[in-house]
Amino acid sequence: MNVVIINGWAMPIGIWHEFCDSLKIYPAYDHCRVIDIDRRLNLSEWIQYLDTIIKPDTLLIGWSLGGMLAVEYADQHPEKIRGLCTLQMNPKFVAGPDWSSAMAPKVFQEFKQLAGCDNDADAKSLVKRFGFLVTTKGFDARGDLQKLKARFSVSSIPSVDVLRQSLELLETLDVRSKLNTINTPQLHLYGEHDQLVPKAVVNDIKALNDQTKIELIEGMSHLPCYSATNVLIKRINEFSGDLN
């Protein structure tokens, strides 16, 4: 089967090289492609764009915002998807009256303000803060942060327009109902020490769909690459083995 990974917000696709190389070892996977969040598109445009890339018999993997887009795509084009796997994905990223297991609106607005400022100081602050948040308390937080610094920098992040548009998507998307209506087999993986997606969301998703596969992985942060690669690929292989 084909593997398509939809990247998360602001991160360069280079962080996935080791992950894809590890997946390619297994004969079940014909190809691994990573789609970056590097363009200024609304939701319907994203679905159209993804449809030009995703082929039939695909294991669709999405990280964080990429996971939300993966859910939307699988809901609209189930005929192409063999299985859906999300990594550290909150179906409603920003907290509201009916969804407390999410980022506080005030914190999210601070990110929007940083992402919307076109100057080096704010860009450096954004990279430093976001890099720290995604790696904190992971299996090897210090090692992951060092590896991330080699790829994630002011020069690697998308334009201000793309950052702002993708944050608007992250703020407004709500895929909770889709998790209960998608017939495609699903696997949702979360990190015990994720600083961006509260671990309480695991029970909330179980309440939405008690038939889906969902796991909270001990010791994992928000970053699915580097020190988390082997653990995640093991879970993905177990899931894809059931799809045959």
pLDDT recorded at residue 191 = 98
pLDDT recorded at residue 121 = 83
CA 155, CA 124: separation in Å to the nearest integer?
10
Could you give all domains of the chain from N- to C-terminal order, each with its CATH number?
A: 2-241 (3.40.50.1820)
Query: With contact defined as beta carbons under 8 Å apart, do 92 and 71 qualify?
Result: no
Mapping DSSP onto H, E and C, the string for the chain reads CEEEEECCCCCCHHHHHHHHHHHHCCCCCCEEEEECCCCCCCHHHHHHHHHHHCCCCEEEEEECHHHHHHHHHHHHCHHHEEEEEEECCCCCCECECCECCCECHHHHHHHHHHHCCCCHHHHHHHHHHHHHHHHCCCCCHHHHHHHHHCCCCCCCCCCHHHHHHHHHHHHHCCCHHHHHHCCCCEEEEEECCCCCCCCCHHHHHHHHCCCCEEEEECCCCCCCCHHHHHHHHHHHHHHHHCCC
Mean pLDDT by 10 residues, the chain (244 residues): 96 95 92 94 97 97 98 98 98 97 95 84 90 97 96 92 94 96 96 97 94 96 97 96 85
pLDDT recorded at residue 120 = 81
Predicted TM-score (pTM) of the model is 0.97
pLDDT recorded at residue 117 = 81
pLDDT recorded at residue 227 = 97
Query: With contact defined as beta carbons under 8 Å apart, do 196 and 134 qualify?
Result: yes
